[in-house]
């Protein structure tokens, strides 16, 4: 199944909105590590039916063989993201600022990393957008204080 860019972005945006609403709604008394483990167990179960939409083109063994060390990096990133937001919301972070702060800093970081590591183009328009993101963080930080 080939997924278009607009549909992929709609799925990602919907997932992020749901993610932050549910993270913020998680019981404050729930153990953070047990919560993470439950998230991943349920996510693994919810992922299984996706094979109906995206069937394997090779054997399971061959498909697993195509995975590389990036799996460990993505897994670590997921744990850090989940734990970071879980702890931030428990510390009182608001929905209207926690994601904007992280998304803006991540955007700035990836813009520079893409340029340095992957020779991606870095234009004046992108730098202006980065300046706007950083200005937005400054404005939101002032209004939150």
pLDDT of residue 141: 72
Digit-coded pLDDT (tens) for 16-50? 999 999 999 999 999 999 999 999 999 999 999 99
Q: Is residue 145 over pLDDT 70?
A: no
Q: Is residue 98 over pLDDT 70?
A: yes
Least confident span in 20-29, 36-45, 51-60, 135-144: 135-144
DSSP secondary-structure letter at 54? S
Percentage, residues of the chain above pLDDT 70:
97
Q: Is residue 143 over pLDDT 80?
A: no
| Mean pLDDT confidence for 7-11 | 92
- Output the six-digit token pair for 141: 């930080």
Place of tokens 């199944």: 1
Tell me how far CA of residue 86 lies from CA of 33, 43, 73, 90, 96, in angstroms: 10, 17, 20, 6, 15
């Amino acid at each position: 199944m080939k997924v278009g860019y607009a549909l992929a972005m709609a799925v990602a945006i919907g997932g992020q909105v749901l993610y932050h609403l549910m993270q913020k709604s998680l019981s404050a008394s729930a153990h953070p590590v047990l919560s993470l483990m439950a998230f991943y167990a349920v996510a693994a179960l919810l992922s299984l039916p996706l094979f109906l939409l995206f069937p394997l083109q090779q054997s399971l063994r061959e498909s697993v063989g195509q995975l590389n060390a990036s799996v460990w990096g993505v897994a670590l990133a997921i744990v850090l993201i989940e734990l970071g937001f879980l702890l931030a919301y428990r510390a009182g972070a608001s929905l209207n600022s926690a994601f904007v702060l992280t998304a803006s800093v991540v955007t700035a970081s990836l813009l520079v990393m893409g340029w340095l590591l992957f020779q991606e183009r870095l234009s004046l328009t992108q730098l202006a957008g980065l300046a706007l993101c950083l200005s937005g963080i400054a404005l939101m930080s002032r209004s939150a204080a």
